[in-house]
Amino acid sequence: MTDSSLQPAGPVTDDAQRARPVDPARGTRRGLALDQISLDPGFWKTLQDANSAGTLRHCIEWMERLGWLANFDRVAAGTMDHNRPGWQFSDSEVYKLLEALTWEYGRTGDAEVDAIFESLVDRVAAAEDEDGYLNTYFGHPGRPERYSDFSMGHELYCAGHLLQAAVARMRTKGEDRFVALGRRVADHVLREFGPEGRNGVCGHPEIEVALAEFARATGDTRYRDQARLFIDRRGHGTLTPVPLLGPAYFQDEIPVRDTESWHGHAVRALYLAAGAVDIAVDAEDSALLNVLEEQWHHTVARRTYLTGGMGSRHQDEGFGEDWELPPDRAYCETCAGVGSLMVSWRLYLATGRVEYVDLMERTLFNVIATSPSPDGTAFFYANPLQQRVEGSDVLPDAVNSRAEGGVRAPWFDVSCCPTNLARTLASWQSYSASVEAENLAVLLQYTAGEFDFPLRNGLLRLHVSTDYPNASDIALSVSEAPREGAALRLRIPSWANGASVSVNGGPADPVTPGWCDLPEPVFEGEEIRLVLPTEPRLTWPDPRIDAMRGTVAVERGPLVLCVESRDLPEGISLESVALDVSVSPSPDGDGARARAKSVKTPAQARGALPFGGVPADQEMSEEFDLILVPYHRWAERGPSTMRVFVPVAVDPISKSPSGPILEGRSDER
């Protein structure tokens, strides 16, 4: 059923149809396209290369091995029956991979990647029904009826991921048979769920954000109207509850507009919010946008981990209540990190506020970069901030249960995270720089590479040299600029107290966190030096996070650090470690070295329970050096126990932590 009469169009050149995942119909900010940034060796290129060389093919191999790809072949051949491998949503993994492959092709022009994409499209397209319905789980002989399970069926969720892949294709290669397939799938959704159609919403949001972007890419506002309809229909309890999961799990107990904070299943909440931002922006619904900004602020201030991770509860993979942030039970699904990026990027484009980009940096370095193994073939699904028991080494051929922590696994029973990482890393560039009002270049994330800002008066080409985040220095050289110069804005991260900027070797002017607009236009041949201090610093939790009270973390630049058991002195257990905060941690490689003691095990037995009527003695050991490493690297050397927040050593005489460092917050030094 593939349409071979539609030939792929040539490369897309119109700036409104460039290779970027998000392109609002209204507003003055636009992210650079993938082909406007090329990365040089550095932190993000290493991850992107591992994605290219490892993750993309790894995902195909696993989906082939488990029969998730063959499900399409069986539907096409009419042989699908009651015995179908994979969850209801396994088609979506194929679509997320298609999205990743097409961004990869758009970025690299690699013909082999495009050939893989086309071969997968052959199989996907062959499974399409006459009316544009495409799903291998429902609607076939021996299978459940179409749209018979809105709560958990994920049919519209799958369609949404196909549409996001089609948007990526449109913006990297132009109209082709896959884009045409996307149109038929989208039109089917409109016919089935339009104003006169079924009054249903999908248990897992995704179709909303997908239709909104599909409308932008095609210029057909019917898709946006449908996205808006789905958002407005939600929150009225139409989804049938499933055991142990109430309507809040699906964000179906209260409309988006009336929601104070993100709640329920974290990925669902974030995808829904991303779609709602798109609708608010394109429909110029400022009331809705304000509500979404308030939701972001509430959730980030009270329900988000230091890593940027979201989701405290394992049972429903969901947000907890305010301040419910246990480090050892943190769920922080990798996909929730992706969802958080999706929302924050859209809010940045809509408002220009720096805090959204700050959270993106935190999430990129500490959730997204943490999940994949260095070769891109094993992944964390959950990203807790404390691991009490060493993970058991996983077999390279084993399907892991999703939340089993402590080691990166090659694949999961529910394997949403690897393909979500793949599409995010393949398009990483598109979140790192933007142009505002066609005349202001904004550098958002720091990495080595070349950035081409298309400004109204001409091109601004910046070459960025840096080993950030492992170095403080970021050198920008202007290799091309409009004759009258160009306005340049830099982001000074929220943690970067003591940052400075100098132009052409001049004095280093102090700059404060937030936006830094260079006072003069920049011209070709000029050099700008930005210094972001990356000395280790102590970070204290809000005391209302009772699960972290009495503890402290160490950060360095954008990196959250952690202690791993393998770096402890012989005989010291991780749960006994206490940080001496009277001594500032010092740099050590890309991590830090601090002073610590350990709590000696009480000499006398205290009864059957680990509790007593008087406080236990907390006799401290001699001090020792405590090594902290970047959280994103934890467990790369093999299974270990780990913690980010470390109890503060208490002086046994005064029973209080002491030292000058506590007199001011360490980040205000």
Binding site for Zn ion (CB under 5 A): 333, 335, 416-417
Q: At residue 496, what are phi and psi to the nearest 5 degrees?
A: -90, 65
HEC profile of 163-201: HHHHHHHHHHCCCCHHHHHHHHHHHHHHHHHCCCCCCCC
Beta carbon nearer to Zn ion, 335 or 528: 335
- 377 or 551: whose CB is closer to Zn ion? 377
Whole-number Å distance between alpha carbons of 31 and 445: 12
Which is nearer to Zn ion, 33 or 335 (by Cβ)?
335
For the CB of residue 414, give the shortest distance to Zn ion in the complex, in Å.
7
Q: Nearest-CB residue to Zn ion? A: 335
Of 274, 149, 243, the C-alpha closest to 203 is: 149
Question: What minimum distance in Å lies between the beta carbon of 416 and Zn ion?
Answer: 3
For Zn ion, give the closer residue by CB, 22 or 367: 367
Find the shortest distance in angstroms from Cβ 389 to Zn ion: 22
The tokens describing 425, both together, are 């890393």
What token pair was written down for 363?
Answer: 């999430």
Q: Which is nearer to Zn ion, 407 or 481 (CB)?
A: 407
**Amino acid identity at 239:** L
Determine the Cα–Cα distance for residues 554 and 562; give it in Å rounded to an integer.
Answer: 7
Residue 511: which H helix or E strand, with range?
strand 509-511
Query: Do the Cβ atoms of 93 and 67 come closer than 8 Å?
Result: no
CA 124 to chain centroid: 27
Minimum distance from residue 19 beta carbon to Zn ion (Å)? 24
CB of 334 to Zn ion, least distance (A): 5
Q: Which is nearer to Zn ion, 271 or 634 (CB)?
A: 271
Q: Which two tokens stand for residue 530?
A: 């930005």
Count CB atoms within 10 A of the CB of residue 544: 11
Compute the least distance from the CB of residue 382 to Zn ion, in Å. Answer: 9
Q: How far is the CB of 235 from Zn ion (least distance, A)?
A: 24
Least gap, CB of 402 to Zn ion (angstroms)? 7
CB 185 within 8 A of CB 177: no
| Residue 614 neighbours by CB distance under 10 Å | 6
Closer of 95 and 133 to Zn ion (Cβ): 95
> Any idea of the CA torsion for 2, 15, 449, 630, to the nearest 10 degrees?
-70
Rg of the chain over all Cα atoms, to the nearest angstrom: 25
Give the C-alpha separation, 215 to 25, whole Å.
Answer: 9
Torsion of CA 560, 275, 293, 468, to 10 degrees: 30
Closer Cβ to Zn ion, 105 or 379, answer by number: 379
CA 629 to chain centre: 21
Nearest-approach distance from CB 105 to Zn ion, in angstroms: 24
Q: What b/e sequence results for 460-470 when a residue is b if at least 16 CB atoms lie within 10 Å of its CB, and e otherwise?
A: bbbbbebebbb
Residue 213 structure tokens: 């972007």
In degrees rounded to 5, what are phi and psi of residue 334? -55, -40
Q: How far is the CB of 316 from Zn ion (least distance, A)?
A: 14
φ, ψ of residue 258 in degrees (nearest 5): -105, 5
State in angstroms the smallest separation of the CB of 451 from Zn ion: 30
CB 616 within 8 A of CB 591: no
Residue nearer to Zn ion on the CB measure, 75 or 94? 94
121: enclosing H helix or E strand: helix 111-125
| Least spacing, CB of residue 563 vs Zn ion, in Å | 26
Considering beta carbons, is residue 156 or 414 the nearer one to Zn ion? 414
